[in-house]
Amino acid sequence: MAKAKATEPTFEQSLLRLEKVLEDLEHGNLPLEEALKAFEEGVRLVKACQQKLDEVEQKVEMLLKDEAGRWVTRPFLDENNGPQG
């Protein structure tokens, strides 16, 4: 997994910021311009989090038992596209 840039927030930081943005929007106390900026930031954060999750998902291997009961590794399966990676 590539190291994050120094200025790029971690997944956890992005998620915490997204929660704060959503909380601010839910309270409805923001002026229209600020609400629009918060919404735009929220959309960017959702996309960034989804991209990070997709990157991790592509590297995940699930531990499964084969027909004989032995533990084996298999690529993580995407229900739409089959094996990832």
Range of the domain at 50: 11-83
Total domains present in the chain: 1
Give pLDDT tens digits for 4-60: 556 889 999 999 999 999 999 999 899 999 999 999 999 999 999 999 998 887 666
**What is the per-residue burial (b if ≥16 Cβ within 10 Å, else e) of 33-65?**
eeeeebeebbeebeebbeebeeeeeeeeeeeee
Q: Is residue 19 part of a domain?
A: yes
Q: Is residue 67 part of a domain?
A: yes
75 or 61: which leads in pLDDT: 75
pLDDT bucket at 85, cuts 50 / 70 / 90: very low
Q: Is the pTM of this model over 0.85?
A: no
Q: Is residue 5 part of a domain?
A: no
